[in-house]
Amino acid sequence: MPDVAGVARSYPFSPPDRLNLDPLYAELRRVEPLTRVRLPFGEEVWLATRYADVRTVLGDARFSRAASVGRDEPRLTPRQIEGGILSMDPPEHTRLRRLVAKAFTARRVEQLRPRTRQIVDELIDAMVAAGPPVDLVEHFATPLPIQVICELLGVPFADRHLFHVWSEAIVSTTSLSPEQIQKYLDNLYGYIGELVQQRRREPTDDPICAMVQARDEHRDRFTEQEVVQLAAGLLAAGHETTVTQLPNFAYVLLTHPEQLAWLRAEPARVPTAIEELMRYVPLGVASAFARYATEDIEVGGVLVRAGEPVIGSLSSANRDETVFADPDRLDLGRETNPHIGFGHGVHHCLGAQLARMELQVGIGTLITRLPQLRIAVPEPELTWKSGMIVRGLARMPVAW
Amino acid sequence: MSTGWRVEVDAGRCIGSGGCVGMAPGHFRLESGLAVPIAVVVEPTDAVIDAAESCPVEAITVRGGDDALIAPA
């Protein structure tokens, strides 16, 4: 191993390089599946890299998120991670999750598919009317998820320029100063707080109103702050990730022309292809949200002591050669694909079905309607975001 | 037990996320990576409704004694 035994490695292991995963993950899976790492901030932590171990860390109730509260949690940002639903265990977590889960079920999301198709078609119409080159990030990947989440939550689309800017606070590490992050979060919470008050005065038929009503009926079960934080989280997380993944997926397809040609000939396989892209693209620059052991537990042949934190790497688990044949190869037709790109356990992405649907419709329509789609600049000229917890393109000029 | 509820997990849809096991540990467990109900017929309880309504892929159904769908609603 390249490091001295017993010394924690810096994590992430290297600065993000486009969508490439550091080869050290594969080496660790082979020889040191549980290893000590140190993130830019917070206490030293174990890192699990094998699929089975990551699932244990995320899925076993003996690993707690609630126990992170009050600890110097390992993290990529100077700010302490704020409580909220991601720092809770059942049954407190269940209480909040249930409040919003209904709005994101597979069935509810299917009802949004026709409208999503319409939005996608309108965006492509506008791209075609403007003519190439067009920045896919600004004119396709950004407005699509924002419009869908606005309509789902009942948030005015006209306010997108405000809350989209503020939402960067939840994915920023160093792209914003700590003061800016605080200011953006204050703005976002203030904005949502106002929407909450509006619904108290004039009830509407949307998830935010359902949350307000649940809060008002059971004032002992939910605090006002919990409702506002949760709604803000839905709005921000409900689009930032998909805004980033749409160009990532388009980039991977356009740089794997043989795979893309196969998919164009097999449009019915788009859902399978989206699952493979979820597996293959390491969205996070690093995994975080450490789980704290509530008792001594063996993971990857190492005894994790009660009270010690462990991070499970989703990106590494999704490349585990004992689960996925030829894991570093993009195989859009991959049949057996139990990836954990949306996480695992009680904190499994609430919006997974929504994201899947948007990615299926968005990517599927894009490659069908624009058969000559290509990146309009030489690949090395593409600019990638930095100072964020996610990997993604800052701009993606395309032509067709 | 005519008033009991019937809990089912569709093994074809379950992704083994384990959310139900976390939310209702007395009612679900993971077996070979997939969720299964510990008992198919249960006394009415919010715990199984919570699990069914929070399942990310709606693999869990809860039905009443008259076979009417109770959750997901």
CATH number at B19 reads 3.30.70.20
Tell me, yes or no, if A336 comes closer than 8 A to chain B by beta carbon.
no
CA distance A199 to chain B (A): 23
Return the structure tokens found at A85.
């639903």
CA distance A390 to chain B (A): 23
DSSP 3-state of A70: coil
CA distance A343 to chain B (A): 8
**What average pLDDT does chain B have?**
88
Return the structure tokens found at A4.
């001295």
The answer to whether B30 and B18 have CB atoms below 8 angstroms apart is: yes
Residue B40's domain comprises 5-71
In a structure prediction context, what are the per-residue pLDDT tens digits for chain A, which is 400 residues long?
444 556 899 999 999 999 999 999 999 999 999 999 999 999 999 999 999 999 999 988 899 999 999 999 999 988 877 778 999 998 888 888 888 888 888 888 999 999 999 999 999 999 999 999 999 999 999 999 999 999 999 999 999 999 999 999 888 988 999 899 999 999 999 999 999 999 999 999 899 998 999 889 988 888 888 899 999 999 998 888 999 999 999 999 999 999 999 999 999 999 999 999 999 999 999 999 999 999 999 999 999 999 999 999 999 999 999 999 999 999 999 998 999 999 998 899 999 999 999 999 999 999 999 999 999 999 999 999 999 999 999 999 999 9
Interface contacts A/B by beta carbons within 8 Å: 65
Q: How far is Cα A155 from Cα B56, in angstroms, rounded to an integer? A: 23
Q: pTM score, two decimals?
A: 0.92
Q: What's the confidence (pLDDT) of residue A105? A: 83
CA distance A332 to chain B (A): 19
Provide the β-strand partners of residue B28: B37
Under CATH, to which class is A9-399 assigned? mainly alpha
- Does B18 contact A346 at a Cβ distance shorter than 8 Å? yes
Amino acid at B72: P
Distance from the Cα of residue A377 to its chain's centroid: 27
Q: Which of B23, B56, B73 sits opposite A352 (nearest CB)?
A: B56
Q: How far is Cα B66 from Cα A97, in angstroms, rounded to an integer? A: 29
- Does A91 contact B54 at a Cβ distance shorter than 8 Å? no
- Does A344 contact B17 at a Cβ distance shorter than 8 Å? yes
Comparing C-alpha atoms, which of A285, A311, A298 is closest to residue A38?
A: A311
Residues of A in contact with B30 (CB under 8 A): 59
Any idea which residue has 């110097």 for tokens? A72
Q: What's the confidence (pLDDT) of residue B2? A: 56
The answer to whether A146 and A234 have CB atoms below 8 angstroms apart is: no
- Does B54 contact A90 at a Cβ distance shorter than 8 Å? no
Tell me, yes or no, if A106 comes closer than 8 A to chain B by beta carbon.
yes
Please report the residues numbered 58 through 77 in chain A whose beta carbons come closer than 8 angstroms to any beta carbon of chain B.
58-59, 61
Terminal CA-CA length for chain A: 46
Q: How far is Cα A159 from Cα A120, in angstroms, rounded to an integer? A: 20
Tell me, yes or no, if A325 comes closer than 8 A to chain B by beta carbon.
no
CA distances to A64, A157, A239, A350 from A347, rounded to whole Å, are 11, 28, 18, 8
Domain boundaries defined on chain A: 9-399
Look at strands A134-135 and A297-299 and give their pairing.
unpaired
Q: What are phi and psi of A103, to 5 degrees?
A: -75, -10
Q: Which of A90, A94, A106 sits opposite B58 (nearest CB)?
A: A106
- B1 pLDDT tier (thresholds 50, 70, 90): very low
Q: How far is Cα A199 from Cα A192, in angstroms, rounded to an integer? A: 11
Residues of B in contact with A58 (CB under 8 A): 18
Comparing C-alpha atoms, which of A65, A64, A98 is closest to residue A83?
A: A65
Domain count along chain B: 1
Tell me, yes or no, if B54 comes closer than 8 A to chain A by beta carbon.
yes
Q: What's the confidence (pLDDT) of residue A166? A: 93
Q: How far is Cα A104 from Cα A354, in angstroms, rounded to an integer? A: 7
CA distance B67 to chain A (A): 20
User: Residue A273: is it exposed, middle or buried by C-beta count within 10 angstroms (0-12/13-18/19+)?
Assistant: buried
